[in-house]
Structure 1
Amino acid sequence: MVRHRLVNNGESQGSIVIFIVFGVLVAVGAAFYFVLAPYIFKPTVDLWLGDGIFRAQIATDGVTRQRGLSGVDKLDKDQAMLFVFPVEGRHEIWMKDMKIPIDIVWLNKDRRVIFMVKNAQPTSSKSGKYKPETPALYVVEFPAGTVDSRSIIIDGKATFKIDMESVK
């Protein structure tokens, strides 16, 4: 009688380990793409206002509008953040947890400047809240000093392209 003995040379175990490692890498990559990427790779739009052209990060949902520029250490002179709301209103901007002073500009549905705050300072308290007296659909935050240096004025018109269907 001949006895056959199976010899395990480690190839099957190595294949299993490679398969598990590959699966973990795919899961981590998917988590990064679906969870972290929106916070790292923020959508932007070119925005013209006054005599400036700005690369503006877009905030179109409640989470990104609430976070805004909180935690940002520096804005270059050609950077901004554009808040897009689903309906016009007296949308309030709160400077809590901000690290830098900013200029804030509210735009109506026609993208005309209706209200501005220059050099709004960071705060850790309940103060530092700003809102326009008339309804706005958009708010733009710039580095402090931009309103003056780029000749942004009341009734000035902003130009940018945005997909309003993505606004929540």
Structure 2
Amino acid sequence: MFLQRRSVRHAALFLASCLLQVPVVQAGLPLVELGAGMYRIEAELAHTDEARQIGLMNRPAMPVHRGMIFVFAHDARHCMWMKNTLIPLSVAFLDRDGRILNIEQMQPQSEDSHCATGPARFALEMNRDWFAERNIAAGAQIRGVDRLPTAR
């Protein structure tokens, strides 16, 4: 019954966003604190299939210190795209220890794939150029990934 009610609610929100062009924001995603260099990151946690599929779609903006951390079940060369995503983003692919493998720049509403250069366990999306503006590059460590729950 709960799953059925949740599915109906999700479908109604999606339909409303399509018809009224109202942004659908994933309600209730947990926030986690991460760190990069001297910077604090408040990241929404996308560790379920549903949260990973929706990601940051249909949002008109995101606060500077906010991002989204995608947690994957297995290390792999994961890829991201920007379908239905309205804001330009940078994505950092991280290994299981939180080390940045590579950072990709992504254009809004594009179906181009942006992939990890090696086996990644996480992907951290921030506003475009967030990493570059703070001189954070491949090889840098993202703190806090060791406290993240496993993917579901």
Q: Within 2, Cα distance between the matches of 1:162 and 1:122?
A: 27
Is it true that 1:41 corresponds to 2:34 in the alignment? no
CA contact (8 A) 1:50 1:153 kept: no
For normalisation by structure 2, the TM-score amounts to 0.79
Residue correspondences, number: 131
CA contact (8 A) 1:106 1:140 kept: yes
1:159 aligns with 143
1:100 aligns with 87
Identity of paired residues, percent?
A: 25
- The AA in structure 2 aligned to 1:109 is R
Deviation of 1:94 after TM superposition, in Å, equals 0.8
Q: Within 1, Cα distance between the matches of 2:116 and 2:50?
A: 21
- Secondary structure in 1 aligned to 2:50? helix
Deviation of 1:72 after TM superposition, in Å, equals 1.2
Query: What RMSD in Å do the two structures reach over aligned CA positions?
Result: 2.0
For normalisation by structure 1, the TM-score amounts to 0.72
Q: Within 2, Cα distance between the matches of 1:129 and 1:113?
A: 18
Superposition pairs for residues 1-168 of structure 1, below 5 Å?
Answer: 39-118=26-105, 120-124=106-110, 126=111, 128-160=112-144, 161-164=147-150, 167-168=151-152
CA contact (8 A) 2:102 2:137 kept: no
- The AA in structure 1 aligned to 2:45 is I
- Secondary structure in 2 aligned to 1:54? strand
Q: Within 1, Cα distance between the matches of 2:142 and 2:96?
A: 11
Q: Which runs of 4+ in 1 moved over 6 A?
A: none
More helix by share: 1
